[in-house]
Amino acid sequence: MKKVAVIDDQDYILESTQLLLEFEGYTVRTASNGKKGIELIEEFLPDLILCDISMPEMDGYGVLTYIRSHSTLSSTPFVFLTARAERSDMRAGMGKGADDYLIKPYTRDELIAVVAIQFEKRERIEQKMTERAGEVARNVTYALPHEFRIVLNQVMGSAKYLKSIAAVATEPQIIEMTDDILSSSQRLFRITENFLTFVQIESFKADPEMHKRMRAFRTVEPGATMYDLVMAKAMKFARAEDLSIKGEVEGIAIEISTENFNKVLEELMDNALRFSENGTPIVVTMNANAKFFTVEIKDYGRGMSADQIANIGAYTQFNRMIHEQQGVGLGLIISKRIVELHDGDFSIESHEGKGTTVTFSLPIASDYY
C-alpha cells in the first residue's frame, strides 16, 4: 500500500486530505509544521510528500531542501500545497526541486489526480531503472570476474610465496610481500567501488528527476579544491615534481557536488599518474568563462589508440602487458558519465606512445554570489 505524508499547519486541510486519500486506499500520516514533518518523514519513509509552504518553525522550502539533501529520501516525489497562486512562487518551488504543486483550496478530483500522476510517473521511472539495471548487470557479470581474478591471483601468489619462505624470510622480504598484498587489496577495493559507482550512475541516467536534483548541488571554489586534490594525488605517487598546475580561478561555484567533482579528478589523475613514467610531466590546467569551468589533464605516457578511445563506455580493459593497473576503462567512463549527467562536456585526445589529454567542463552556478 502506497504511503503519503501530508504536512500543513491547518487542521482542516490535514483531516480532509487524509480522509480523501485513505478512501482511495493510501496509507496517510500527517504533521502540523515543517519540523514535525521531517520527524514524520524520517520515521514513516513515505512514497509521496504533500507539503504546505507557509508554516511555523520551518516552512515548506526548508522541508524540501532537507529532503533533497538526504541520501535515503532525496528521490521522494514532493508536491507543494499552496494558497500562493503567483507564478513566481510556483517557479521558486519547482526550482528548489518540487515535482508539482496543488493550489488551495483544491477539490477531491484535483487532489487524486495530482497524487495519481506522481505515482504513475514514479512507476515509469522505476521500470526504466529496472531495465537499465538489467543491462548493467549483464555487463558487470561479464567483466567483474575477470577484474577480480587478476587481482586475487596477485594476492594469493604473494601470500603463498610469503608462506613458503616464512621460516627463512628476512624482514625486508616480509615487508615487500605484505606491501604487495596490501597494494593488491587496495586495488581490489577500488575496482569494487568503481563498479558500484558505475551501476549507480547508470541508474541515475534513467531517472530525470534524480538527474535534475544532482544539478542542485554546488562545489564552491573548484579551483582551490582541484589544486589540493591533484597535488595530494601526485604526492601519493611520489611525483609532486612531475606535476605542473596552470591557471587560477576564484570566486565561482559549479553545478556538481564536491563528492562527484572529486571523483572525476581522482579517476583522471589516477590514470595520468599510473600510465606515465616517473619523471615525465603531468600538466593540469584550469580556466573559466562566463558559463563553464574547464580542467585539462595532460600526461606524456603510453597513450591510447583510436579503437581504445572508441571503446570507452564498454567494459573494456586496455592492454596490461607493461602496466599492471586495472580499471582505466571504467575510471574514464565513470568520469565521463558524471560530467555528462551534470550537463558538462568531456573529451579525450590521445596518441599511442605520446600521451593523453583529457578535458572536461562543468557549468558555473549562476545563483552563487
CATH, residue 96: 3.40.50.2300
Give the per-residue pLDDT at 311. 61
Give the per-residue pLDDT at 214. 72
On whether both 26 and 147 belong to a single domain, the answer is: no
> Does residue 112 form part of some domain?
no
| More confidently predicted of 198 and 248 | 248
On whether both 192 and 204 belong to a single domain, the answer is: yes
Q: What would the grid cell of residue 266 be? A: 581522482
Most confident of 51-65, 70-84, 170-184, 280-294: 280-294
C-alpha to C-alpha distance for 228 and 20, rounded to whole angstroms:
55
Q: Which of 106, 133, 164 is the last residue of a domain?
A: 106
On whether both 135 and 225 belong to a single domain, the answer is: no
Residues in the chain: 369
Peptide linkage before 172 cis (omega within 30 of 0): no
Instruction: Burial-class residue 141 by CB neighbours within 10 Å (0-12, 13-18, 19+).
Output: exposed
* Least-confidence region, from 156-160, 189-193, 218-222, 256-260: 189-193
On whether both 243 and 285 belong to a single domain, the answer is: yes
- Residue 207 pLDDT exceeds 80: no
Give the per-residue pLDDT at 237. 92
CA Rg, the chain, in Å? 26
How many other CB atoms are there within 10 angstroms of residue 77's CB atom?
21
> Does residue 336 form part of some domain?
yes
On whether both 142 and 219 belong to a single domain, the answer is: no
Closest CA to 100 of 122, 71, 69: 122
Question: Does the model's pTM come out above 0.85?
Answer: no
Which structural domain range is residue 318 located in?
215-369
Three-state DSSP state, 76? coil
| More confidently predicted of 262 and 71 | 262
On whether both 39 and 153 belong to a single domain, the answer is: no
Three-state DSSP state, 360? strand
On whether both 191 and 266 belong to a single domain, the answer is: no
Q: Which of 160, 176, 211 is the last residue of a domain?
A: 211
According to DSSP, the residues that pair with 312 across neighbouring strands are 314
> Does residue 111 form part of some domain?
no
**The CATH number of the domain where 242 resides is what?**
3.30.565.10
C-alpha to C-alpha distance for 128 and 132, rounded to whole angstroms:
6
> Does residue 114 form part of some domain?
no
On whether both 205 and 220 belong to a single domain, the answer is: no
Q: Which of 211, 230, 264 is the last residue of a domain?
A: 211
Give the per-residue pLDDT at 177. 83
Confidence of residue 287 (pLDDT cuts 50, 70, 90): very high
CA terminus-to-terminus distance, the chain = 45
On whether both 220 and 354 belong to a single domain, the answer is: yes
How many domains, in total, are found in the chain?
3
CB 131 within 8 A of CB 206: yes
* Rounded average pLDDT over 233-240: 94
CB 253 within 8 A of CB 223: no
Q: Distances from the Cα of 320 to the Cαs of 323, 326, 327, in angstroms?
A: 5, 8, 10
Closest CA to 102 of 126, 116, 84, 124: 84
CB 363 within 8 A of CB 218: no
| More confidently predicted of 209 and 94 | 94
- Residue 328 pLDDT exceeds 50: no
Confidence of residue 134 (pLDDT cuts 50, 70, 90): low
